[in-house]
Amino acid sequence: MRIAPLLAVILVTGLPLGGAGAAPVGGTGSVMLVGLSTDASLIGPGTLFSSPGLALLASGSGDFAGLDGQALNLGPVVLGGIATFSAGFGSFLGQVSAASLLLGGDPAERRVTILAIGQFVPAGALGGFDPVAMTATFAFIQPAAGGEVSGTLSIVAPPPLPPPIPVPEPRSLLLFGLALAGLGIAAVRRR
């Protein structure tokens, strides 16, 4: 019985008994997008945004902390299309699901926000993590008609959960049931 002392050593030292899976990556990041190309002189929800001259991770939190300054290769972004990016720390592939237009304080300023939901596959410095769901929110700004477009990309992995649906408490249901019973008894007594 030489297994018993080995098992005792494993349990005392906390060594894993089997191959445990890696945890999913978690955190947020903000990416600067400079020198974007578009297919229109005035940006809007249906505009195709492509090829930024510069895309750098400006700040990160959680597992994305410490990756500041990493360059991203960004694919084209348009409502109804696919959004992609790749970097030394991983890649994203998602479906663009929503877009909105906001006119700024200056009548010529236009802001377009595009939301993509997809999967982030970690690599490089984050290679020890499992793939995870991610949201990518693009915010594009055009200060004047026909002017240069710049923007930001905010990434969140995993995406925030929707708020819970309120469920009636048991006491509230009991009071409601008693009220219905009382109304039923009153209706029977009236007959």
Strand partners, 83: 94
User: CB–CB of 155/31 below 8 Å?
Assistant: yes
What local confidence, expressed as pLDDT, does residue 2 receive?
52
Residue 3 is predicted with a pLDDT of 47
Among 18-22, 31-35, 165-169, the least confident range: 18-22
- Measured CA to CA, the distance from residue 10 to residue 144 in angstroms comes to 66
Amino acid found at 31: V
pLDDT for residue 150 is more than 70: yes
Between the alpha carbon of residue 123 and those of residues 64, 130, 167, the distances in Å are 12, 10, 41
Q: Indicate whether 18 pLDDT > 50.
A: no
At 30-82, the pLDDT tens digits run 998 877 888 888 888 888 888 666 788 889 999 999 899 898 888 888 888 89
The residue type of 144 is A
Q: Cis link prior to 166 (omega < 30° from 0)?
A: no
pTM attached to this predicted model = 0.71
Q: How far apart are the first and last CA of the chain?
A: 84
Q: What is the pLDDT of residue 27?
A: 92
The least confident of 1-5, 11-15, 134-138 is 11-15
Report pLDDT for 7.
Answer: 35
Check whether 14 has a pLDDT greater than 50: no
CA 78 to chain centre: 17
Q: Which residue has the higher pLDDT, 7 or 172?
A: 172
Average pLDDT over every residue of 129-139? 93
Whether the Cβ atoms of residue 136 and residue 119 lie closer than 8 Å to each other: no
Burial class (CB in 10 A: 0-12, 13-18, 19+), 81: middle
pLDDT at 110: 86
CB 35 within 8 A of CB 52: yes
Instruction: Give residue 189's pLDDT.
Output: 87
